[in-house]
Chains A and B, each alone.
Chain A
């Protein structure tokens, strides 16, 4: 049983507050990913949980025990650092076994545990080597192995894959997920890469400038972003945004005026909108299509052909650039004039403050 609970956690460095009141619940055996842009405080949050930084105010509980004043080694956590932080003068086996040696575990037991961890990560042939003789991926595994050996309640990962090249990153991602499945452990994983977050997480926590923007499952966060930030951060290529004005409000729909004068009907809660309201409209590339008679018109400036899919970047006549997803054999060429169709049911509406507007009237609440 290893759940983690944070209540109103705040952290200041001098007069600068970097974590501004975070509430979080990570259930036992979940792989929770904290994702956010550089400088949002995600590493700091992890270090607060690990005990490497002091919590300014708020409470941290692990398995029901308050951990604010417990030193790192006694919290029964293990951390995998971004730079791996292996002990350069010790062999891989010694690196793995160091924590056990400190805990005065007898040599036989130590050796067994080290071998077990090495087996899980397939690094047995490396046991005699020193860190400087290993590749990046191998060092990463040793760092993870060091964590496994400690048999912690919670694993903490601080951007462990950012120092690896792209191909290795994909491979290691799968490794971590496999590990999570095999060890059935609670894992708290920090990254700035939203692809990692989407593919790995049981639950995603989107952090921005020290506050939590949204918590949810990946698909939840993807399909129902709570605000402009989450909508723009999650999903690659990025969601398209354009200004829209409400021209009229119906029973369960509203008519919007888009750049270029086009009109669009979207499902909306009539109690929340009035004619004349200025909103932001968000539409993901896969919900836009190049088609004759589409409401938005412009010129195809850049075309990205990935092989399985094509992304067409359209510069609207009077409006922003849109990224439209198209089929892999889409025949459009650069500088072609195109028109883009958008379905109202797929659009996301955000009010003046950047908050998402619910798409159906209040009595059909969705989470």
Chain B
């Protein structure tokens, strides 16, 4: 029953794991030069494997230590994600109607929500293996799609895809595909509905309240930022 719903949820968690990882080397000041030189598929592969291994190896993460998970996400994933663009795409035509302040707030809240979601998922990694398929696009392009799948001990493989854009600071992920569904496209409906009800400020408020609740659920181990 509702199998897809649950599958999607588990895949979401795996996805976070799969790409959560590898920014450790990247967080150094020398990162941009290194990242720029790295091909997008190589980058995603490295991040994915590093995250997967980090999550598997860390007993505290397995035990559900929220603080550690958030740290891992902050350090490893975030430097490689363009949240501004992700939010702009999810907001669609409403993004243009928002003031710069609203845009910044919206991107911040969306970012926090995604970080919480992914962090919650990181504790789920156990025996998964990663496989990579040929990349769509070439390094010469400004936008590419990297495709992979997570092979589990039981059940079907979970497809994971990433859209990346070339920025001066290196390749950045701006959309993720889990089980055939793009994150941005999936949030679009949610965003549009909230904005339709109570405007951009309404959406920001809903996101902020959700984040507050998630922070509280994390057991007070997490201090809400900004």
A in complex with B = no
